[in-house]
Structure 1
Amino acid sequence: MTAQTIMIKDVPKDDRPRERLLKFGAGHLSNQELLAILLGSGTKDESVMSLSNRVLMHFEGLTLMQDAAIEELTAIKGIGTAKGVVILSAIELGKRMNQYKPNEKYVIRSPKDGADYVMEEMRNLNQEHFVVLFLNTKNQIIQRQTIFIGSLNASIVHPREIFREAVKRSAASIIVVHNHPSGDPSPSQEDFHVTRRLLESGKLIGIDVLDHLIIGDRKFVSLKEKGYL
């Protein structure tokens, strides 16, 4: 009997994923073991551990799996609709946990605070999203709003839309944020142009633009730290 055909029932009880989780905690399990628990069972010809390993290899790990569609999952031999739905549900729960913000208002004390607030939600977006964080006089976030989706362009991102929302929410200041889908947060000339327009408009209205953050893949650029604001 080869390693490829060993079934869970043939594995010593203490070495099975569920038993290991109960004994050591989920943090001690590999990605393969955690996925095997979600799948629950393999097929008549393949163990659940082998199937979970094949799924991970298909997506080259977890990063690409987070954008998986049900059609791509069920195209993998051994993954039917039921197993595909379980995987997608687990992925979505993970995303929501990462995006969860406590009820207490989040305080911005540094550019990193602002970047941390949006990083997990924005770093893997496939399109540019232009987001505004509206702050009160204590630099607490009172609202987060996506203003525009698409390539950043000064002719499209209208200051009036942003500051109309700021006035409506009685914001004392704002931080504008957008992502670069390439993962590289280096600012472009258009980024500087948009920032300049917003700064000028904010001064006229009396609402400060505290920063313009550009989000990449687990890294960011603050135009304030760059000395632009």
Structure 2
Amino acid sequence: MSISQWPAQERPRERLLEYGAAALSDAELLAIFLRTGVKGRSAVALSRDLLQEFGGLSQLLNASMQQFCAYRGLGQAKYVQLQATLELARRNLACEVARESALSSPQAVRDYLQIQLQGLEQERFLLLLLDSQHRVITLETLSLGTINAATVHPREVVKATLAANAAAVILAHNHPSGVAEPSRADRQITDHIQQALALIDVPVLDHLVVGSGQSCSFAERGWL
């Protein structure tokens, strides 16, 4: 049975209009994006198959074009549409965090950093530079690869902070393993950066570790 033959209250588009996008499952939202299924599989059924095949929504959204297009029912056009949608989400969040203080909209900042880092296969260390009102000045990538004292040096953080005339910073990096729990090395690096920035009177407001669909905040743990 195709989705058009389902009861109206069970169709993803009708459910979105009635209850809002947040009420829909990952599979239902993906089905709206895909619009059509394949022979013998509705868009919702295809979406469930895709989420299971890729291991979840994050892995699907961050799949390479080759991985994405290899699945029956998908193709380059849908891959391009998906990447455009993701970039729109990134830019929307960037605008939101730029307008507000990072302290007055911490969830927006968290969402912004998560969408920048989630699903990456390589570790990336980001530095969010803030002005005296805690509004975003810019976001810089400080390191690619395994995060350790050799790749993320406090001197580089101080240099970037001074160059931007930043009054505060937020640190963020991802764990490609998907587990957001900070390591001992993560805590040591944060301590070193915090000590270095204290010399120029710039606080570290938070360090966010991003995993698969989850994140851990140093500030919420009381570690800063």
- Superposition TM-score, scaled by structure 2 size: 0.70
- For 2:201, the equivalent position in structure 1 comes to 207
Distance (whole Å) between structure 2 residues aligned to residue 103 and residue 174 of structure 1: 14
Distance (whole Å) between structure 2 residues aligned to residue 22 and residue 120 of structure 1: 23
Q: CA deviation at 1:215?
A: 0.9
Q: Percent identity?
A: 27
Aligned in 2, Cα 1:106/1:61: closer, same or farther, shift over 3 Å?
A: same
The answer as to 2:154 corresponding to 1:159 is yes
Q: CA deviation at 1:104?
A: 1.5
Q: CA deviation at 1:75?
A: 2.3
- For 1:194, the equivalent position in structure 2 comes to 189
CA RMSD of aligned residues (A): 3.8
- For 1:219, the equivalent position in structure 2 comes to 215
User: Could you report, residue by residue, the CA deviation over 1:3-61 in whole angstroms, capped at 9, with x for unpaired residues?
Assistant: xxx3456x268478476258636535554444444334444x42543444433442344
Q: List alignment gaps of at least 5 residues for structure 1.
A: 1-5
- For 1:132, the equivalent position in structure 2 comes to 127
**Higher mean C-alpha deviation, range 17-26 or range 64-73:** 17-26
- For 1:3, the equivalent position in structure 2 comes to none
Q: Which has the higher helix share?
A: 2
Distance (whole Å) between structure 2 residues aligned to residue 169 and residue 154 of structure 1: 23
Aligned in 2, Cα 1:14/1:99: closer, same or farther, shift over 3 Å?
A: same
The structure having more radius of gyration, on CA atoms, is: 1
User: Could you report, residue by residue, the CA deviation over 1:199-223 in whole angstroms, capped at 9, with x for unpaired residues?
Assistant: 443344x232334514143231417
- Superposition TM-score, scaled by structure 1 size: 0.69
Q: List alignment gaps of at least 5 residues for structure 2.
A: none
User: Could you report, residue by residue, the CA deviation over 1:138-186 in whole angstroms, capped at 9, with x for unpaired residues?
Assistant: 3333332221122222233233322222222222333333333332323
Distance (whole Å) between structure 2 residues aligned to residue 203 and residue 128 of structure 1: 26
Distance (whole Å) between structure 2 residues aligned to residue 119 and residue 48 of structure 1: 31
- For 1:178, the equivalent position in structure 2 comes to 173
**Higher mean C-alpha deviation, range 24-33 or range 70-79:** 24-33
Map 1:1-229 onto structure 2 (within 5 A).
6-7=1-2, 11=5, 14=8, 17=11, 20=14, 24=18, 27=21, 30-43=25-38, 45-49=39-43, 50-94=45-89, 96-97=91-92, 101-108=96-103, 115=110, 118-182=113-177, 183-188=179-184, 190-204=185-199, 206-211=200-205, 213-217=207-211, 218-222=214-218, 226-227=222-223, 229=224
> Which SS does the other structure have where 1:133 is aligned?
strand
